[in-house]
């Protein structure tokens, strides 16, 4: 089995790749709002943001299948959507399960998975986060 640690993340500081992966984002204590991905400064007050866990579970808010030529070595077709996170009040745009085509419906619980998928901006195979149907 090839270790996931051999592959770089598609982008630094947007997710963890442990057994129960979760998203990382920015939190502004002054505005009490979360950002994903973490910006250098808060878009509300231009103050500092803290890198925090956003959790790995959410509710699927919308889903779209993209059938045009995929970028970055993604499968064709691939799916994207918005996920309302459970741990923090934030809706994120995310890649959705690239394997199972008919297993996602709006309103269902989804969980983050991290796997080798596609290429990063340097054309290198990389780890990429996406949401799949939750176990529970």
Residues that bind Zn ion (CB under 5 A): 28, 30-31, 42, 44-45, 47
Contact 93, 37 (CB under 8 A): no
Work out the burial of residue 75: count CB atoms within 10 Å of its CB; fewer than 13 is exposed, 13-18 middle, 19 or more buried: exposed
Residue 73 CB, shortest distance to Zn ion, in Å, is 36
Residue 50 CB, shortest distance to Zn ion, in Å, is 11
- Nearer to Zn ion (CB atom), residue 30 or residue 106: 30
- Nearer to Zn ion (CB atom), residue 45 or residue 106: 45
Residue 54 CB, shortest distance to Zn ion, in Å, is 16
Residue 45 CB, shortest distance to Zn ion, in Å, is 3
- Nearer to Zn ion (CB atom), residue 25 or residue 129: 25
Residue 33 CB, shortest distance to Zn ion, in Å, is 6
Contact 51, 13 (CB under 8 A): yes
- Nearer to Zn ion (CB atom), residue 26 or residue 56: 26
- Nearer to Zn ion (CB atom), residue 18 or residue 39: 39
């Amino acid at each position: 089995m090839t270790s996931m640690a051999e592959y770089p993340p598609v982008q630094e500081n947007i997710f963890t790749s442990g057994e129960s992966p979760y998203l990382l984002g920015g939190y502004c204590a002054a505005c009490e709002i979360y950002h994903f991905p973490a910006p250098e400064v808060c878009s509300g007050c231009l103050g500092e943001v803290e890198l925090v866990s956003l959790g790995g579970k959410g509710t699927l808010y919308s889903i779209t299948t993209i059938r045009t030529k995929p970028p970055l070595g993604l499968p064709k077709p691939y799916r994207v959507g918005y996920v309302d996170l459970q741990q923090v009040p934030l809706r994120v745009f995310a890649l959705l399960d690239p394997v199972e085509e008919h297993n996602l419906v709006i309103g269902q619980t989804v969980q983050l998975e991290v796997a080798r998928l596609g290429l990063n901006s340097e054309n290198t195979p990389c780890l990429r986060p996406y949401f799949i149907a939750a176990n529970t």
